[in-house]
Structures are given as C-alpha cells and as structure tokens.
Structure 1
Amino acid sequence: MRNLNETTGWHTTHQYFQKFLNWNEHEQLHILERMLSKLSHNQLFVMQKFIQPMLQRDFIALLPQHLSEMILANVDARTLAACEAVSSDWRNVLARGQLWRKLIERNVRKDNMWRGLSEKRKWRKYILVSRDTASFAICEHYKMNYDVLQLFPKVVADIDKIEANWHKGIYKLSSINCRSENSKGVYCLQYDDEKIVSGLRDNVIKVWNRSDLSCERVLSGHTGSVLCLQYDDRVIISGSSDATVRVWDVATGECLNTLIHHCEAVLHLRFNDGIMVTCSKDRSIAVWDMVSPREINLRRVLVGHRAAVNVVDFDDRYIVSASGDRTIKVWSADNLEFVRTLSGHKRGIACLQYRGRLVVSGSSDNSIRLWDIHSGVCLRVLEGHEELVRCIRFDDKRIVSGAYDGYVKDSCLGFGSLSFQQHTGRVFRLQFDDFQIVSSSHDDTILIWDFLVEPEPPSSASSDTLEPTIGSSIQSSSAERTTITTSNSERSPPGTPPRRRSEMYLGAAPSSSYDDGPIALFVEPYEVETLAQYEARFPDVSP
C-alpha cells in the first residue's frame, strides 16, 4: 500500500510540474511567489542555498576569447594571480592571451622603475617583441630564459631590494677622478646610460664613458669655469664665468655657436622644446628662441631680481628663477610677464627645481622649502643641513640635496634621513634616478652611488663597526674607485653647536680659498606624500 501511495504521489507531482512548465512566465512567477510566501524561515534559507549557485555565471568562460582577454588585461598582478586559480578555463585565457607578458609590457611603458630595470637587466627586448614578427631564435630564447611567470616576481623582488637599499643606505660607489693641473672642482654634470657630461673649473667640458668611466672627449673653448650645462641627443649647451653660452655638437664635440649677451658669469641655463632660459650674476634672465643650433635668437630679458640669479627652471606655464636676494620669482612662460614672488628664505637661494605645481628650493639659510607655485604658499620647511644647500632634485618619492655640511639631521617629516659622506670637498651638483645618484664636488671627483646592488655578507672584521663596509674597495684605475658601502642615519647629540656657516656669495662660483670639508647628500623620504596626494590637498588656485 505504501509503495502504491508513493507512486501515486510522484505521479501527481509530475503532473503539477508539467502543468507549471506549460504556463507562461507571468503565471510561473505568480505561483512561485505564493508558494514562497508560505514557506518557513528555515525552508527559505535552504531554498537560497539552491538558488544562489544558479544565479552565478562564469562570464570569462562564456564570453568570446578576445573579450575575456580584454577584461583580464586590465587587472593588476594580484588579481591576475587570483584569476589563474579560478579554473582551467581561466588559466587558458591567461595563457592564450599572454596576459602576464602584457602586464609586464604595461608596467615597462608607464613606470620608470620597470623601464629602467628592463634595460639594466637586459630583458626588455624579449618582452616588447611581437610573436608574429620576432625571429624563431629570439622567441626560443625568450621561452627558455625569460618565462614571464618567473620574471614578474623576480622584477618585484628587484624593486623591493632597490627600495630597501635606498632606505638602508646600501650602495656601490664608483668614482671618476677629474683632477688635472688646473682643475679645482667639477661644477656641473648630466648623465644618461651611456655617458656623463661634466663642466669643470679649468674651463673645459669632459665627456665620460659610463661602461669603463674613461674620458672620451674634452671640449675646449670657454675662457672661464664651466658653471652649468645641459644636453640632449643633438647638442650640449654650456654657460661659463666668461659670460658666454656655447653650443656644442654632441657627436663630434664641435663648437657650433657662441652666444654673447650677459655681461657677467652665466650661472645656470635650461632648454626644452625650442626655448632656452639663461640667468647670470648680472641679475638678469634671458629667454631665447632656438631655431637651430646655429640660430638662437634673444627674445626677451627679464629683470626684477636685486642680486645674482643663481638658478632657473621652466615648463610651458611658468619660468621660475631664484636669486641671492632671497626670493623666488615666477614669470609667465606665455607672455613673459611677472606673476608673483615667493618669499620666505632668510638668505640667498642657491638651487631650485620646479615640476608640476611644486617648487623645491635650497638656500644658504641651510633650509629646504616646498612651495605651491599657483598660490605662492610655502607648504613645508625642511631643516637638517648645517651649511649652504647647494643643489637639490626631487621626484615622486624623495628629495635629494647636496650641501656644504658633513651630516644630516632628522627632517620635520619624521623620518631618519641618510647621510652619504664620501666626497672630501663640497658638493656642487647632483642628479639622480630610481637606481643611482651621481654627484660632483670641489674635490675634483664625480661619484656614482648605485643602489642596484647585491651586497655580499659583511665580513667579521667589519661587523663590530657602527658603519660597516660591505665588500672591499677595488682600485681599478687612476680614474675609478668602486666600493660597496652602507650609510646610517646620523643625529647630532643635544647641545651640539652648529657648524660654521659658509659665507659664500651666491652670485659667483665658490673661491678655491674656501676650506674643504665633507659633504652630505640629503635623501629625504618624500613618499610620505605623493604628488597626486599633494594635488588632492591643494586644488587649483588661480594665479
């Protein structure tokens, strides 16, 4: 009897189900709504467990291959790794679309650190290559030695190591000896991956090979110290205490042009996109139109400073100048009219960099100031140097400055700053990127501080020292010295009197009569606030 009742019940249920299937969608929803309203809370919970998986769809597996690739090609590394673990279908999409490789390509194109590592580690040519056009040999080499699944974590580890080296002060030090019979300092420099171009007190420009640090070329023509220079892929332009600006051919070293306008030393210059700006001890700023290396025409002279103009910088909006009169002046790059004065330094300003909305300046009042160029407001004052701040550069992560003191105190940002003390004279110029600092000094040397280094374990002999040297000094030639070393943050004990200030007149090149002393490269951990965060805090303000 029980089996008969079960069979009859199943038959009746089947009949109801068939009727349900024959109803239209509106009728089906109506009966389901009524049935659900009669269920208990526990029954509804059980129903939810049945229904929820039915509502999920594997859109990556269901979409056409090219659409799935487009979606996953826009995620970050962490998400991409999670996608690989979802299913074999998702892994196949990643593999067929070479999405790890595309992620590396994207990082190389948009991030300076990735771009630099791709060149220095020699794997860029295997990543940025089309499988359709690359030779079989290159593709096989790529498959064997540059598997992207292994490459990505290696690059991330490389980046972490470089950042750790910056924070701990671990670097490989290389030295170029620029000393000659008449040389008494290296006033200016610029570098790239192939060369370093330096301007010397003995009136010449020297070009050094980056691979072996040998001198490739000497450019002679100035009759005074070479105080400033800049180059691109076509020309080197230099300014001198002989009051002239000279234009040189990068490839041949030939002097193409000599500009005679300023009546005293040319202290600084910048050029870009057909415009050049020079400044002088004669208190003036000259704006030039660069038609060609042999045709450079004076457009206008800007006058307003009451002392030597030590440094200029500009973009398509503003020209910014700093002077021994303690002020920074802002000029319109469009009509060359005066815009505003930034005041706050207590003594003459020796160095400056301008980028985006931010101006960073260094002064003989021993301080570094950060300014909003639109409003003219001083955003922050960094103190730590005990003598004149001669040169300064910054990027999104840090501020690096060179001064005439021997140590660096903690900054007002609350981080321990690093003091790199290797020069035996005062620093005159520096430049840096994600991997290195290159600095020049009154001691006739150019130092290269390379943070892309894998240090050896410290020896037992150095383990008891406060500032251990990792590895040993290698005397490779008279023009080169290489060491790997660490530098610790230094703090002056309470009550320590400040060192004697330099009384250098900021309008002229420093005299050789100034006694030499150690210099400090001030590495300020500026990552406490990125430029994007800074811009969010200070919205646009009309000039």
Structure 2
Amino acid sequence: MKNPKNALLGGKSRFLKIFTKVINEDPKNRPITRRHSIAPPNPNPNPKSQYSNTHFGPNGVEVEDEGFFTVENLITRIDFLINLPYEIAAYILMFVDFQTLCRMARVSRAWYCISRDNELWHSMYVMSEGWKTNIPKDVLTGDVDWKNLFKNRHTLATRWKKGECEKRYLKGHLDSVYCIQFDEHKIVTGSRDKTIKFWDINTGNCFQTLYGHDLSVLCLQYNEKIMVSGSSDTTIIIWDMQNYNQAVSQIRRLSGHSAGVLDICFDGNHIVSCSKDSTIKVWDVNTGECLRTLVGHRGPVNAVQLHGNRIISASGDALIKLWDLEKGICIRDFIGHTRGLACVQFDGKWVVSGSNDKTIKIWDVETALCIRTLEGHTDLVRTIHFDEDKIVSGSYDQTVKVWDLKTGKQLLDFKNGHTSWVFDVQFSTTKIVSTSQDQIILVMDFAEDLDTRYII
C-alpha cells in the first residue's frame, strides 16, 4: 500500500506552483471567503462585458430579452484548507515558502490561525536543509517561538547569500596575527608578537594575554579543557583552559622539533604537530610523550589535520599525504597542485587544500582523486575552512572568499577587509573571523540584531 505521506509529497511540486501563484495574486482581484464568493464585477465600463441579455430559444436561435439580464462572471470558489482536518492543512503548509506563508495570514481568519501554528513553524525549521538548533535541555520544544526562530534563521541565510554583514576590527596585537579560533563567547589569537590574546566576541575587548613562547605563535587549537599552541621557537605549550576567563596556566611544554612548529591539532588522545623541519610528530595528549615521528615529505610541512586514525598533511613539496596514525605509515599521496601547499582541512570524507599555485582543490580521501579545482584567488591561498555546505578561504591577495562546496561556485568575495596578507580564517553559522599581517582581527557578523541563541 502506498504511503499517504509519500503520495502527498509526490504531488508537492505541482501543488506548490499553483498554490503559490494563487496566494501571490493581488488580493483585490481574488476574494476568498470561508466557503465561497462571487467574483468581482469586471472593471471594464462597458456594461455589455459584465451583463448579458442574450439567450437561445427552443429552436437554438439566439434571441434578446430586454427585460432580463444575468451576471456572466459568477464564480464559486472553495476554501480547501478549512474543509480539511486541521492537522492535514498544517502539514500541507509545511512545504510552502516563507513569504507565501506570511501572505496567507491576510487571506482570512482561518488561514491566519493555521499560518500562526507554532508546530507548523517548528516542522518548517526542521525540514530546512542545513538548519540546526542548540536548544538547552531545560527548555521545552513547545516553549520555543518557532516562527520567530525561523524568521531569524531565514534572515541570516539571506544575509549570507547577499554578503550583508557588520564588520568589526579588533586591535591590540603589536605584529602579524597568524592564527585564530573562536566560539560563541570568545576569540583566541596567536601573533608574531609572541603572545596569545583572548577577546570577548560580543564587546571586542581583550580580557587576557598569555606569555610563554619565545618567538611567534604560529598555530593554536583549544577545547573546553586545554589549549595547544605551536611556535617558531620549536616548542609546543599545553595550557589549562578550564578557567580561561580568570587565569590560563601552562600545563607542560613539549620539545622535539628542530625548527618552527607550523601547525597543530589534537583529539582526546593525541596531539599531532608539523614543522619546518619536514616532520610530523604524534604526542600523547595526557603525558606529553612523543609517540612517533612521521617522515616522508621533502619540504616544510605547513599544515596537518587529524580525524580518527587518519592524519592529512600538506607540504611545501606540493604533496598531500594521508597517514595511519597508529602505524605511522603513509597510505597514499594526493598529487595535483603545481606549487607548495599552505593549508589543508580534512573531515573524514573530503580533503580541501590551498596552494601557492593560487587554487583550492577538493579531493576524495579514499581515491586521492581531485574532484574539483576552485580558481579565483590571484595569489597564494594561505588558509581554508569548510563545513558540509561551503568553503571560506583567505589569501595573500588580501581577500576572503566564500565557495559552494558541492559546485565549486564562488559565492562571496570580501575585498576590502584587510590591507595585507590574510593568514587565517574561520567561520560559524553567524560569523567569519580572519587575521592578517596588518595586525588586525576582522569579525564579519551576519547576525547583527538577530536572536541566535538557539541557532548553530
């Protein structure tokens, strides 16, 4: 037996085309009552176009009766929504676009009530591709104003599409800002001035500065417990983050590389670092012991990513390598860039890389085949960050660009944010944050004046 839900969805496309057209007509020419209505008279002043006294006699001959006239445009219209069970009417409206649903509220009192249904807006939000929520466990789903949440999320998506954002600049570092990470509360940056700074993401105030490295802080990563930073001084420092808003203390310092630590990443068990000395090292996150050293690149290893038991590395030798973390062996090479690589990100399925050949490449991790090449930057692609929908990149050409991950199409191009090389970029649902040689942190906020408490 055919699933009734699937049967309804099967006719969705044709239904929405007709339904949206009807709703978007000028309401002055489309009266709808609770049951039926008489169409308005034709505005044409010629009465013959409105009324008729012409009839056909018994023998089929057309005759005229000057004593009787009839209205020609008498139309009965059925309000199908209120003739349906409320639940079915609400279910149908789940597939209507945002603007149409808002216009529906002006049609009739019954349609207004249906279009305000909180569960309807909840369902529409859940069905919107890529829209996620972060509702605390102590907040009941039914207590959320889903229409307002949908409206804010829709506005946010529209701003991303158009590139509309509020720009804020954070100043405080005394030299180039090399690395960044941020969350809903704070931004953390590392600089050539040897410091790590903590910034309040809402006010932009710097509320803490860490000293510990002897040279430039080139890379960092944190979670709720620890932060790991790497430096040109060849060392790695593990910091205690559990009271970051009061004091961040050093837990231990790791030594082993013979040149600057260019990138780091970690999970619950391991820290992985890469260096200008052409090696990758795997460390025990709890003890700081160096477990193994991976050798294979013929140039500085500029970027590294960890996902499960796999490590992805990108080097100045123009190669990307996939490694087995436990065995310490290279599984395969990704060949395609014509110049050295500056950055790489890996999510377990896709590898995205940026290079001095001015391109971004998307690779299938299982086959090492290049799926797509993105062209648009005019200088070295220094940094990339991606999620399931889009890629954000920063370049020596001083721009930040946004790309569609699935099609490779360039969506946005921010040209006037920085006055020098862009070194790092990260983004969330609401913001893009970038750092540069110009010593400035740029925050591009797409959610200015929006309530995004439950949006992720």
**Contact 2:177/2:192, CA 8 A, preserved across alignment:** yes
**SS of equivalent to 1:429:** strand
Distance 1:186 1:276, change over 3 A: same
SS at match of 2:417: coil
Structure 1 position 233, deviation (Å): 0.4
1:164 Cα shift? 2.2
In structure 2, what is the Cα distance between the partners aligned to 1:257 and 1:275? 15
Q: Answer yes or no: is 1:447 the counterpart of 2:438.
A: no
Give the C-alpha shift of residue 114 in structure 1: 3.7
Residues 426-445 of structure 1: matches in 2 within 5 Å? 426-445=421-440
**Equivalent residues in 2 for 1:306-325, closer than 5 Å:** 306-325=298-317
What secondary structure is seen at the aligned counterpart in 2 of 1:115? Answer: coil
What per-residue deviation string (whole Å, max 9, x for no partner) do you get for residues 217-276 of structure 1? 111111010000000101111000000000111122111100011111000000012111
Q: 1:127 to 1:158 in 2, by over 3 A?
A: farther
Once residues 305 and 407 of structure 1 are traced to their aligned partners in structure 2, the CA distance between those partners, rounded to angstroms, is 29
1:298 positional shift:
1.4
Q: Of 319, 332, 357, which residue of structure 1 is paired with 2:349? A: 357
TM-score (norm 2): 0.68
Higher normalized helix content (fraction of residues) = 1
Which of residues 342, 358, 377 in structure 2 aligns to 1:366?
358
Q: SS of the counterpart of 2:383?
A: strand
| 1:82-481 → structure 2 map (5 Å cutoff) | 99-100=119-120, 103=123, 107=126, 113-115=131-133, 124=135, 128-129=139-140, 142=143, 148=145, 151-152=146-147, 154-179=148-173, 183-250=174-241, 251=243, 252-291=247-286, 295-406=287-398, 413=408, 417-453=412-448
Q: Which residue of 2 aligns with 1:77?
A: 94
Residue type matched to 1:378 in 2?
C
TM-superposition CA deviations, 1:84-121 (whole Å, max 9, x none): xxxx9xx99x99xx8558748x949x9874426xxxxx
Taking the aligned partners of 1:409 and 1:203, their CA distance within structure 2 comes to 28
Distance 2:90 2:271 in 1: 42
Q: Distance in 2 between the 1:341 and 1:262 partners?
A: 23
Whole-Å separation in 2 of the counterparts to 1:239 and 1:410: 28
Cα deviation 1:282-316 (Å, max 9, x = unaligned) = 1000011223xxx2221110000001000000211
Quote the sequence identity (%).
Answer: 36
**Residues 419 and 130 of structure 1, relative CA distance in 2, 3 Å threshold:** closer
The one-letter code sitting in structure 1 at the alignment partner of 2:163 is G
- After superposition, what is the alpha-carbon deviation per residue over 1:464-514, rounded to whole angstroms, capped at 9, x for unaligned? xxxxxxxxxxxxxxxxxxxxxxxxxxxxxxxxxxxxxxxxxxxxxxxxxxx
The answer to whether the 8 Å contact 1:113/1:434 transfers is no
SS at the partner of 1:296?
coil
Instruction: Name the CA distance, whole Å, in 1 between partners of 2:402 and 2:447.
Output: 25
Q: Is the 8 A contact 1:73 1:103 kept in 2?
A: no
Bigger fraction of residues in strand: 2
> Which residue identity does 1:168 align to in structure 2?
K
CA RMSD of aligned residues (A): 3.6
Q: For the structure 1 residues 286 and 426, does the alpha-carbon distance in structure 2 shift closer, same or farther, using more than 3 Å as the test? A: same
Aligned partners of 2:126, 2:411: CA distance in 1, in Å? Answer: 30
In the alignment, is the contact (CA less than 8 A) between 1:165 and 1:451 conserved in 2? yes
- Secondary structure at the aligned position of 2:168 is classed as strand
Q: Which runs of no fewer than 5 residues in structure 2 stay unpaired?
A: 1-84, 102-109, 451-456
Unaligned ranges ≥5, structure 1? 1-59, 62-67, 82-87, 117-123, 132-141, 456-543
